[in-house]
């Protein structure tokens, strides 16, 4: 098979580079271990260079089948600190800057690019793996917050001898601290072979002075450091690698957990996050391809075709209602119910959409409450119209396609019907 054909077949994983200075010039780089593992498991890493204005060109990197975010400087605190300030004095912040010089130089361009990609993954259910800074980006994108400095904010709760060391410049790659794994999580399954009965701890590396302070609501912890810091988390509603779903953040670096002087991993489970991530990336690519080529997909039986037509009619009616500004007629409530029930079990909303719907008292995930309050409050009804009116046909089509087989055919028909309405 020609190499050009192979590149079209293999899924694409976007990775944003980190910028450094070498011989008085900027150099963009990505750690080789990340690249080796992505390629080794069957995907193509596509490096997004950290250059000015690249955030305006991200559409050019389509198709995106997965996103891996890893190394980088501290995230701009103005992106997460509103209402949850660190409480550190100017003198303490200066101490932090002096101690962690290479990390505290904020890169707003990188922040902009990575937050855009993280939110894109959340909106479209694109597989996402965040390592170290990448996990922090994920938490911030979902509405969580960070410690500006663990040593100043978290360690002060412990005696010096009891505080967990998260950064050891004198033993950079060799430093380890214990981490308690939460049972029945993806992380537990990856390291199961190394976790005996009643023993749920492993030793992990640590290269960070910041970390998760308040975990976003949609995310669930998978591991904790001895000081209580969350070391790993995932979105349980967006995790099923076989179906192309993977939203995971790891504060530690499993790809660098290797025995001294060897390429052998500390634990057999170390590369599992990458393996499962690429598995999800491959499955996601298949979904996208089947959506683009619906003729190759399975045919629907008569009963399924009937259900599909009902859902299409429901969305067409909803679109007409929101665009025209006409109130919902009681006789049409049953027609709307079919579409709302479908969304109730299959919606993947962005954080902004989720917040707007919560402001009106309900989310699309809570369909019955949504309909009742739509009738009771004209102001909330206007807010709902605003949200739905801003959702593109493509977004609706993707919501339909990602979870059910019916989306493979329904999405194309839906788009044509909505455009004709």
Token pair 């409530």: residue? 333
User: Mind telling me the catalytic residues?
Assistant: 132, 253, 255
Nearest Cα to 130, choosing from 282, 290, 249? Answer: 249
DSSP class per residue in 30-85: --HHHHHHHHHTT-EEEEE---TTGGGSGGGG-S--EEEE---SPPPGGGT-TT--
55-100 pLDDT, tens per residue?
A: 788 888 888 999 999 988 888 888 887 655 567 767 766 666 666 6
Q: Give the phi and the psi of residue 236 in degrees, each rounded to 5.
A: -65, -25
294-314 pLDDT, tens per residue?
A: 554 455 556 666 766 676 677
Q: What is the pTM of this model?
A: 0.67
331-350 pLDDT, tens per residue?
A: 556 666 766 666 555 445 55
Q: Which residues of 212-241 are buried (b: 16+ CB within 10 A; e: fewer)?
A: bbebbebbbbbbbbebebbbbbbbeebbeb
DSSP class per residue in 225-256: -TTS-EEEEEEEEEEEGGGTEEEEEESS-GGG
Nearest Cα to 244, choosing from 127, 148, 360, 323? Answer: 127
Distance of alpha carbon 219 from alpha carbon 148, whole angstroms: 20
Question: Any idea what the Cα angle at residue 348 is, between residues 69 and 384, rounded to 5°?
Answer: 125
Question: Any idea what the Cα angle at residue 273 is, between residues 50 and 235, rounded to 5°?
Answer: 85
The tokens of 388 are what?
């739905």
CB 393 within 8 A of CB 319: no
* Gyration radius of the chain's alpha carbons: 23
Q: Say yes or no to pLDDT of 7 above 70.
A: no
Average pLDDT, the chain: 76
Range of 159-163, 395-399, 409-413 with top mean pLDDT: 159-163
Residue 362 is predicted with a pLDDT of: 39
């Amino acid at each position: 098979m020609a190499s050009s054909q192979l590149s079209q077949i293999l899924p694409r994983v976007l990775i944003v580079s980190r910028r450094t200075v070498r011989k008085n010039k900027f150099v963009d780089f990505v750690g080789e271990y990340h690249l080796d593992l992505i390629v080794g498991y069957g995907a193509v890493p596509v490096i997004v260079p950290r250059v000015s204005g690249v955030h305006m060109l991200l559409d050019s990197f389509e198709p995106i089948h997965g996103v891996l975010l890893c190394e980088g400087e501290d995230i701009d605190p103005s992106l997460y600190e509103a209402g949850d300030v660190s409480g550190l004095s100017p003198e303490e912040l200066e101490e932090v800057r002096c101690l962690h010089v290479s990390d505290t130089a904020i890169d707003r361009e990188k922040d902009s690019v990575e937050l855009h990609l993280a939110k894109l993954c959340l909106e479209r259910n694109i597989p996402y793996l965040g390592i170290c800074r990448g996990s922090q980006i994920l938490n911030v994108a979902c509405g969580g917050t960070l410690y500006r400095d663990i040593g100043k904010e978290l360690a002060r709760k412990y005696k010096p001898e009891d505080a967990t060391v998260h950064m050891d410049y004198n033993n950079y790659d060799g430093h380890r601290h214990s981490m308690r794994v939460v049972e029945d999580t993806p992380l537990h399954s990856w390291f199961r072979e190394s976790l005996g009965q009643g023993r749920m701890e492993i030793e992990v590396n640590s290269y960070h002075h910041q970390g998760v302070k308040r975990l976003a609501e949609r995310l669930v912890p998978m591991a904790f450091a001895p000081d209580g810091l969350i070391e790993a988390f995932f979105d349980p509603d967006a995790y099923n690698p076989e179906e192309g779903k993977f939203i995971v953040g790891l504060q530690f670096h499993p790809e660098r957990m290797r025995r001294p002087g060897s390429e052998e991993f500390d634990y057999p489970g170390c590369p599992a996050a990458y393996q499962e991530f690429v598995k999800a990336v491959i499955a996601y690519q298949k979904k996208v391809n089947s959506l683009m080529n619906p003729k190759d997909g399975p045919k629907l039986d008569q009963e399924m075709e009937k259900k599909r037509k009902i859902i299409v009619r429901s969305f067409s009616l909803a679109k007409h209602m929101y665009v025209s500004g006409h109130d919902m007629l009681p006789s049409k409530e049953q027609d709307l119910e079919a579409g709302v029930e479908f969304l109730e079990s299959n919606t993947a909303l962005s954080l902004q959409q989720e917040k707007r719907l919560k402001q009106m008292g309900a989310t699309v995930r809570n369909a019955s409450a949504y309909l009742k309050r739509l009738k009771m409050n004209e102001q909330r009804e206007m807010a709902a119209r605003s949200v739905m009116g801003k959702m593109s046909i493509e977004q609706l089509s993707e919501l339909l396609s990602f979870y059910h087989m019916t989306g493979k055919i329904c999405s194309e028909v839906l788009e044509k019907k909505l455009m004709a309405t």
